[in-house]
Amino acid sequence: MIAKRSMLNIGIGLLSQAVTIALSFFIPRLIMLNYGSEANGLVASITQIIAYLALLEAGVGAASIQALYRPIGQGDRSKINEILAATSVYYKQTGIYYFVAVLLIAGVYPFVVHSGFDAATVMLIVCLSGLGGAVNYYLQGKFRVLLIAEGKNYIESSVVTIANVVNSAVRILLLLQGANIIAVQAVYLVIVLLQIAVYRIYIRRHYRWIDLSRKPDFEAISQKNSALIHELSYLIFRNTDIIVLSLFTNLKVVSLYVLYNMIFNAVDNLVLMLSGSVRFALGQNFFDNKPKFMRIFNLYETYYMAFIFATISVVYVMVLPFMSLYTAGVTDQNYIDYTLPLLFAVSKLLINARSPVDSVIDVAGHFKNTQGRSILESAINLVCSVGFVLMFGIYGVLMGTIAALLYRSIDMILYANGRLLERSPWFTLRKWGINGALFASVVVLDRHIDLPVHSYGSFFLWGIAVAVVLFPVYFAAVSAVEREVFVELAGLVRSKLGRFLPGGKRVVRQP
């Protein structure tokens, strides 16, 4: 069941990401062409500010998921209901706080950031971008937590994919018709409300046993405040750069950052999908089946890290050719920059390749033990980003992020391996070493190769060619270094394929 759900999560998640990425690239370009780079920067900066409101529920969500792993693994529905009852109380409070916060932001933002749009327009954009989240948390946040803890991420991916297709299609049509930017943003709110209705229908049909009237088990999610610190750190890395650039530069610079970030964020979203597809399996085995947990983790860490380095390497090589095609016809800002791709790639490698050890800390529930480290990481990022942006402009915010990530990534590797996995950090560090050396080689080679990309057709062909070369190289390199993990993977593949071969017998693996 766990393997089946993991495969469903990965398969549907990949489809969801492919569709979302393909559609999301159209909208910023159309906004720039119809309303200018300032409008693109405005929408992006508002979106990032609204994203901070997720902090209102972040601690509860993370703590509840962690608390649900064990009772779900044991089939204890009574305990699940008690945890969900406590979670529901906090999510209802979150919905109210979220609503008030959106109204406050709408009243303040137009007078803090100069955008070239009138205050009423900016206020409406803020409200339309944020109110859906308030309703979402109030009505169905606790059910999403349950689905994630059960490993049913594929349900969310399916709903989100359909919603994104409809949302993007309608917005693109409105933009092509030259509709008002307020009407374009209003589509998002309507789609969010429809999405919530779909979730409610699914839960009523498949979870009739849920009883939120049970006595809430607040103790089970008592680490919510410590979990909040960790979620705050992650949100800072995803969103602070745009806020700092909005305050210390201008919206055209924000637009430049947003376009590069949009491309590399596709990797972030892919990482969230992959880690979420496996994390429930780690969580349900960490406490009750440690040998199985270690097998799953070693496979996950080794090949997940190779996948991340290979993916970001391909993105790094192809980002400038894509940017040349994507911004053709946009004349109010130069979008070709040879330094930004490397800074973005390094920051994304640092934050995404550490996800396996981050998962161990989460499933073990060590939120409180490591909250001081997360606070320090956030402080380094904020201080360095503000300081560097004054000296280096757009490069400064990325340099600040990299400085903080270097500290925290090393700390996570040492903590997870030493305290939770009870092994030498060398097991993780050598994987960083081999993948890092390959990435450095890609950077050097890329400086001496100029791909002849002159159309989207040639872009996709060259992208496929680069991926076909780089992915096998990364996977072969880590397999050569991690021979025991490779043997484990080969045995797992044989056991799965054996069921489909004539006379094949399924290999029963020992727990």
User: Using one digit for the tens of pLDDT, what is the confidence trace for 142-152?
Assistant: 888 888 888 77
Q: 462-506: per-residue pLDDT in tens?
A: 999 999 999 999 999 999 988 888 888 787 777 766 655 555 544
Lowest mean pLDDT among 156-165, 318-327, 346-355: 156-165
The end-to-end CA distance of the chain, in Å, is: 15
Q: 364-373: per-residue pLDDT in tens?
A: 777 777 878 8
| Number of CB atoms found within 10 A of residue 113's CB | 19
Residue 110 within a domain: yes
Whether residue 105 sits in one domain with residue 50: yes
What is the residue range of 370's domain? 240-497
DSSP character at residue 365:
T
Quick one: average pLDDT of 237-252? 77
Mean of the per-residue pLDDT values for the chain? 81
Residue 506 within a domain: no
pTM: 0.67
> With 50 as the cut, is the pLDDT of residue 510 above it?
no
Amino acid at 335: Y
Question: Closest Cα to residue 211, out of 94, 71, 88?
Answer: 88
Tokens 């209705």 correspond to: 197
Number of folded domains that form the chain: 2
Last residue of a domain, which of 222, 251, 268?
Answer: 222
Contact 201, 146 (CB under 8 A): no
Whether residue 338 sits in one domain with residue 215: no
Taking phi over 0 as left and psi of -120 to 50 as alpha, with beta for the rest, 336 belongs to beta
Would you place residue 310 in the very low, low, confident or very high pLDDT band (cuts 50, 70, 90)? Answer: very high
pLDDT of residue 178: 75
Contact 220, 86 (CB under 8 A): yes
Q: 433-472: per-residue pLDDT in tens?
A: 999 999 999 999 998 888 888 898 999 999 999 999 999 9
Residues 26 and 13: their CA atoms lie apart, in Å, by: 21
Whether residue 270 sits in one domain with residue 183: no
Q: What is the maximum alpha-carbon separation in the chain?
A: 73
Contact 283, 149 (CB under 8 A): yes
Last residue of a domain, which of 222, 253, 269?
Answer: 222
Whether residue 277 sits in one domain with residue 204: no
- Please calculate the CA angle 260-262-268 and round it to the nearest 5 degrees: 110
Whether residue 266 sits in one domain with residue 200: no
Whether residue 104 sits in one domain with residue 42: yes
Residues 436 and 414: their CA atoms lie apart, in Å, by: 18
Residues 395 and 257: their CA atoms lie apart, in Å, by: 9
